[in-house]
Amino acid sequence: MLDNPRVPDAEYDQLLRELVDLETRYPEFVTPDSPTQRVGSAPSEKFAPYVHSRPMLSLSNAFDAEELRAFDARVRKLAGKEVAYVAELKIDGLAISLQYENGVLARGGTRGDGRTGEEVTPNLRTVASIPLRVRGKRVPEVLEVRGEVYLKKSDFQVLNAARERADLTPFANPRNAAAGGVRQLDPKLTAQRKLSFFSYSIGNVDAVSSTGGQFEALEFLRDAGFPVNPNVTKCPTIEDVIAFCARWEECRDELDYEIDGVVVKVNDFATQDRLGAVGKDPRWATAYKFKAREATTKLLDIVITVGRTGTLNPNAVLEPVQIGGVTVRNATLHNEEYIRANDIRVGDIVTVVRAGDVIPRVVGPVLSERKGKPRLFTMPDRCPVCGSAIDHPEGEAMSRCTNAACPAQVLERIKHFASRVAMYIEGVGDVMSAQLTELGLVKDISDIYALNARDLERIPRTGKKTIANLLRNIEDSKNRGMARLLSGLGIRFVGTQTAQILSADFGSVEALEDASLEELIQSEGIGPEVGKSVHLFFAQTANRKMIERLARAGVLMTAPKRVKAIAAALLGKTFVLTGTLEGLTREEATEMIVNAGGKVTGSVSKKTDYVVAGDDPGSKYTKAQQLGIQILDESGLRRLCS
Ligand code: IVH
């Protein structure tokens, strides 16, 4: 299967239902290759086949309360009695099966066509929440666990941001990224996707218990150390199921993973057996599908905004359309390559999706509705803001404005420099930054430190007190230190973490300016791409001059000196942060660790010495537990660093 489907899922479901309907009425027209004749997709030849001991079934769909009631009526008629259901969230990921032998993970594969999938064991081993061993005493000789591999929304955003920075086309949604991740040939690439897992059934349930039902099976899985989604309810009637579906359709955005519906299962295993299956769909379960959060509307125009690093970002101007209760007027088109690859043209009717808290995105045109000659999009050859030349390096997805003094870039750079993650100049937010640049008071970040009261008086509605506060805050920001200064400079690929590493390893901006590319990449965590970007930044005369002005204004250019005794305790120790700490931001915690001699990295490995976990810690926490790494809470971290 291609992990990038062209037809929106909701449209596919609808068409498939129409086809099922037609084939039921006219069975003589059913062909062996009809989409109704397969459960999933045929396995690819890239991987060894993974034969399921029992077929992995698919599910019929219900699209509203009436269809759920009809399902219930059928179930009760066939069962000849009242039945209780289990309602579970339908996780939007990729179905997999795991085989444990004597409690140890032996094999794992995708669902494929339901009978045979693809063996992807090494890849699945990299998924931190998949246990490598079954926990507890009641471990059967062979245990088959089924569930969904998925990508958290937060991890998806980090992944796509990194792809955009690296000029790679971003993934359309977490499911595609997860499906592609599981089917990588190199498990290292799977690991980079930071996939997660929820188990939802036992393949060979008779090996565990011959009585009971789905609810008990989930309890067994939880006790055996498998992650089970906590939002499961036993429902005595279908009306309880309907209420559960309505609640989650409303609250789905509160979750850090995508769900596309609710799976309704008859609880009791004996009744499940009695009901059996028609074709590939069990009669004892169905999937309630949420209404799609996508719509079609007209693409009126494509406008370009210029980002901090000069990237030209194409944005869609849409005829306003309601999607899931929100009016959408704009959507991202990512980059020129995305527009071309998806054949999106101005004037087209396009499909737009809004997935949770992610920015709405244009998926593609509805070709059947294309009329006349919609306009092909071409990137301007001059920056729409400053008129300078555009650079579009071969093989890269993004075009860039070449003028570092472009007002659009300057504004974005100032906003970033003054922000909380960098120099934190209180009072210099989005509005003030815009005023400072519009009045020409600040043309590059070093101008901030040349501002005086007379300059600031020119800003409308700015009184004496505000001016005094602003000047004090600007003065205070001079002492934030090298790491914050570096992350504020907006060097490509240098965020908080990289800035901390560079600051700790080089100690002063001067030393960093003089460092060769070889010296740069000797730092742990600085790869060739980052190294090149840092080297290039300091090779520019304009950047060196700006740094000189900052230094002359009294901005601190060095890292704090470490106290020897403390440094000895944490020197060379590697930390990973996960979850939200109550009293420290991520930047503050990083700063504290680095100042005490330690290092912060992004992922947990055998080399990690400590994991600092806050609220909602996620998969890094589980991985740390699995590897037996010491886990600290906030007070533990404070004790260690003090
Ligand atoms: S049960 C016979 N439970 O939905 C029961 N499936 O067609 C088969 N899915 O791709 C599956 N969350 O991977 C079940 N809690 C859940 C699920 C779930 C997501 C997926 C499953 C399959 C599709 C069903």
Q: Which of 263, 266, 269, 284 to mutate to test the pocket of ligand 1 (most atoms within 8 A of CB)?
A: 263
The residue to which tokens 């996780």 are assigned: 91
- The number of distinct structural domains making up the chain is 4
Give the pLDDT of residue 97. 97
Query: Which are the contacts of 560, defined by CB distance < 8 A and separation ≥ 6?
Result: 481, 595
In a domain, 410, yes or no: no
Are 178 and 276 in a shared domain?
A: yes
On whether residue 23 sits in a domain, the answer given is no
Q: Evaluate the CA torsion angle 129, 133, 137, 140 in order and state its sign.
A: positive
DSSP element (H, E) containing 341: helix 336-341
In this structure, is residue 437 part of a structural domain? yes
pLDDT of 28 reads 59
256 and 319 both lie in a single domain: no
Within a domain: 308: yes
Closest to 94 (Cα-Cα) out of 194, 160, 201, 181: 181
Of 242, 265, 289, the residue at which a domain comes to its end is 289
Using CB distances shorter than 6 Å, the residues near ligand 1 are 57-59, 88, 90-91, 95, 148, 200-201, 263, 282, 285, 287
pLDDT confidence of residue 208: 80
Segment among 75-89, 180-194, 466-480 with least mean pLDDT:
180-194
Question: Cα of 209 to ligand 1 centre, how many Å?
Answer: 21
Q: What pLDDT was estimated at residue 222?
A: 95
Q: Are 533 and 520 in contact (CB under 8 A)?
A: no
Give distance in angstroms: CA of 60 to centre of ligand 1. 10
* In a shared domain, residues 622 and 550: no
Express each pLDDT in 176-214 by its tens digit: 899 999 999 889 899 989 999 999 999 988 888 767 999
On whether the CB atoms of residues 444 and 490 are closer than 8 A, the answer is no
Q: Is 163 left (phi over 0), alpha (psi -120 to 50) or beta?
A: alpha
Q: What is the pLDDT of residues 556-614, one digit of tens each?
A: 999 876 544 444 567 778 899 988 888 888 778 888 887 777 888 888 888 899 999 98
pLDDT of residue 205: 82
Q: What is the pLDDT of residue 157?
A: 86
- Residue from 56, 90, 269 to probe ligand 1 pocket by mutation (most atoms less than 8 Å from CB): 90
Q: Whose CA is nearest to atom 10 of ligand 1?
A: 95
DSSP 12: H
With respect to residue 118, please indicate whether it lies within any of the assigned structural domains.
yes
Q: Is 371 an annotated catalytic residue?
A: no
Q: Which domain holds residue 623?
A: 574-641
**Region 391-406 average pLDDT:** 83
Shared-domain flag, residues 447 and 495: yes
Compute the distance between CA of residue 597 and CA of residue 479 in angstroms, rounded to an integer.
20
Domain finish residue from 369, 401, 436:
369
Q: 142 and 267, same structural domain?
A: yes
Closest ligand 1 atom to 281 CA: 2
Whether residue 524 sits in one domain with residue 594 = no
Q: CA neighbours within 13 Å on the CB side: how many for 219? A: 10
**Integer Cα distance of 155 and 161 in angstroms:** 10
Determine the pLDDT at residue 562. Answer: 55
CA of 122 to the centre of ligand 1 (A): 23
- Angle, to 10 degrees, between the axis of helix 586-595 and the axis of helix 634-641? 30
* Model confidence at 26: pLDDT above 70: no
Q: Could you tell which of 1, 36, 59 is best to mutate to test the pocket of ligand 1, judged by most ligand atoms within 8 Å of the CB?
A: 59
Q: How does residue 93 score in pLDDT terms, banded at 50, 70 and 90?
A: very high
∠ CA(231), CA(197), CA(618), 5° rounding? 80
Mean pLDDT to the nearest integer, 152-178 = 83
Q: What is the pLDDT of residue 310?
A: 87
What pLDDT was estimated at residue 38?
A: 41
- Of 46, 77, 90, 194, the active-site residue reads 90
How close is the Cα of 134 to the center of ligand 1, in Å?
22
| pLDDT at position 358 | 64
Distance 263 CA to ligand 1 centre (A): 7
The strand order across the sheet containing 610-613 reads 599-601, 574-578, 610-613, 630-632
* Residue 334 belongs to domain with CATH number: 2.40.50.140
Residue 228: alpha-carbon gap to chain centroid: 21
93: number of Cβ within 10 Å: 25
Q: How confident is the model at residue 283 (pLDDT cuts 50, 70, 90)?
A: very high
- Please indicate whether residue 85 or residue 634 has the higher confidence score (pLDDT): 85
The per-residue pLDDT for 24 is 58
Atom of ligand 1 nearest to the CA of 39: 7
Answer whether residue 393 is part of any domain.
no
Could you say which of 237, 263, 289 is where a domain stops?
289
Residue 551 is assigned to a structural domain of this protein: yes
- Position 565 scores a pLDDT of 47
Tell me: pLDDT of 27 over 60. no
Q: What does the CA dihedral 525, 527, 533, 537 come to, rounded to 10 degrees?
A: 50
Q: Which residue has the higher pLDDT, 174 or 8?
A: 174
Q: Over 70: is that where the pLDDT of 69 sits?
A: yes
Q: Could you please report the per-residue DSSP string of 95-139?
A: EEEEEEETTEEEEEEE-TTSSEEEB-HHHHHT-TTS-SB--SS--
Q: What is the pLDDT of residue 6?
A: 53
Average per-residue pLDDT for the chain: 88
**Do 216 and 111 belong together in one domain?**
yes
Q: Which of 313-317, 508-512, 600-604 has the lowest mean pLDDT?
A: 600-604
Q: From atom 17 of ligand 1, which residue's Cα is the shortest distance away?
A: 90
Higher pLDDT, 278 or 201: 201
Looking at the fold, whether 251 and 265 belong to one and the same domain comes out as: yes
**Which one of 60, 97, 144, 200 would you pick to mutate in the ligand 1 pocket, going by the greatest count of ligand atoms within 8 A of its CB?**
200
Residues 114 and 262 in one domain: yes
pLDDT at 9: 58
Atom of ligand 1 nearest to the CA of 95: 13
Residue nearest to atom 4 of ligand 1 (CA): 90
CATH number of the domain residue 605 falls in:
3.40.50.10190
Which CATH number goes with the domain that contains 501? 1.10.150.20
State the CATH number of the domain containing residue 45: 3.30.470.30
Tell me how many helices (H) and strands (E) the chain has. 24, 24
557 close to 508: Cβ distance less than 8 angstroms: yes
pTM: 0.58
Distance 90 CA to ligand 1 centre (A): 6
Ligand 1: centre distance to CA 281 (Å): 11
Q: How far apart are CA 549 and CA 345, in angstroms?
A: 46
> Looking at residue 7, what is its pLDDT?
57
Distance 286 CA to ligand 1 centre (A): 9
Question: Can you give the pLDDT at residue 30?
Answer: 61
Closest by Cα among 255, 201, 202 to 231: 255
Task: Determine the pLDDT at residue 2.
Answer: 44
Tokens of 448: 């901030």
User: Among candidates 637, 587, 590, which has minimal Cα distance to 612?
Assistant: 637
* Over residues 499-525, mean pLDDT: 91
Q: What is the pLDDT of residue 25?
A: 56
Amino acid at 191: A
Displacement of CA 38 from its chain's centroid (Å): 30
Same domain, 161 and 256: yes
Q: Which atom from ligand 1 is nearest to the alpha carbon of 89?
A: 15
Q: Does the pLDDT of residue 11 top 70, yes or no?
A: no
Read off the pLDDT band of 39 (50, 70, 90): very low
Pairing outcome for strands 312-323 and 285-289: unpaired
Residues 554, 583 within the same domain: no
Same domain, yes or no: 319 and 464: no
Give the torsion through C-alpha atoms of 402, 407, 408, 414, to 10 deg: 110
For the stretch 286-305, pLDDT in tens is: 999 998 788 999 999 999 99
For residue 40, the ligand 1 atom closest to its alpha carbon is: 10
346-393 confidence digits (pLDDT tens):
999 999 998 655 679 999 999 999 988 889 999 998 999 999 999 887
Is residue 493 very low, low, confident or very high in pLDDT (cuts 50, 70, 90)?
Answer: confident
Residue 6 lies in a domain: no
Point out the ligand 1 atom lying closest to the alpha carbon of residue 56. 8
